[in-house]
Amino acid sequence: MVVKKAVAHASAAHTMPEVSTITTADLMDALSKGVADFNAKPTHLVFLGIIYPILMVLFARTYAGYDFLPLVFPIIAGSTLLGPLAACGMYELSRRREQGLEVSWLNCFDVLRSPSILAIVMVGVVLAGIFLIWLVVAQGIYASHFGAAVPSTVGGFAEQVFMTSSGWSLIIIGGGVGFVFSVVVLTISVVSIPMLLDRQVDWMTAIMASVRTVLANPKTMAVWGLIVAAALFLGALPLFVGLAVVMPILGHATWHLYRKVLAS
């Protein structure tokens, strides 16, 4: 009996679910439900408590040593590569609300007690690895344009980047490479972590389900990627304050997107 249960569990862990075809209307519905989840249980203070200490450390480190300046934008822009992991708590809140369970912002941390926590950590390791590779590549792109020397002031650095042809080349090439990294992260994570919270599957199965989701819905997922990028950009404009609202809503919406794609 124990052997049969173990075999059944192993089989379930590797079962690949059917992927549904979705449309832009489904994306809008997922966003609408994400807004509803956020309005029902706002978590902006949680995100402010995460975002601002990180930003303060980042800028303090920058002013302590200007050699860190070339990595400021790659770190801020590349932090979106870790967004799916940061949104784990939002997935859990949406899952609980969907089941009619009591919900408070403290339930964000229920993820730590999930049976799939080790698998979630593995996906997080993959995302962190991609983030670190992005930083190395971004540093290499900067060095290829300007060498190892870094301006001694923030103003000098801004002039170097925005007022020279090499600077604009850096922006264009860096933006293009960053786009590729973003596509990779979207492909492997768009439904993988929500799936791990919802089902007993291993982390590779969850990533493959995410890849299959993108392959089955390339145009719709491209639109979703543009929506996420635009929302994060707009949220970052008012001194990053908007991210405390944008990121939770996108997290909630991603849960509902997962439900539409892998409903069975």
Q: Which of 26-40, 107-121, 148-162 has the lowest mean pLDDT?
A: 148-162
- 252: Cα within 13 Å, side-chain hemisphere: 27
> Can you tell me the distance from the alpha carbon of 81 to that of 70, in angstroms, rounded to the nearest whole number?
18
Say what the pLDDT of residue 155 is: 81
Q: Residue 7 — very low, low, confident or very high, per pLDDT cuts 50/70/90?
A: very low
Helix %, strand %, coil % of the chain (to 5): 80, 0, 20
Report pTM: 0.82
Residue 56: what pLDDT? 55
Q: Are 16 and 205 in contact (CB under 8 A)?
A: yes
Q: Which are the contacts of 135, defined by CB distance < 8 A and separation ≥ 6?
A: 71, 74, 75, 78
Alpha helices (H) along the chain: 2-13, 24-40, 44-64, 72-78, 83-86, 88-98, 117-146, 154-162, 165-189, 192-198, 203-216, 218-236, 243-261
Cα–Cα dist 185/190, whole Å: 8
- Chain-centre distance of CA 108, in angstroms? 16
Q: Lowest-confidence range among 33-37, 45-49, 85-89, 235-239?
A: 45-49
Beta strands in 35-107 (DSSP E): none
* Cα gap 92→197, rounded to integer Å: 7
Query: Which tens digit of pLDDT belongs to each residue from 139-169?
Result: 899 999 988 777 777 788 888 888 899 889 9
**Amino acid making up residue 148:** A
Residue 14: which of 167, 153, 209, 150 has the closest Cα? 209
pLDDT at residue 187 tops 50: yes
More confident residue, 194 or 264: 194
Task: Please tell me the predicted confidence (pLDDT) of residue 108.
Answer: 78
Average pLDDT, the chain: 83
Contacts of 58 (CB under 8 A, 6+ apart): 72, 75, 76
- Residue 63: the pLDDT is 53
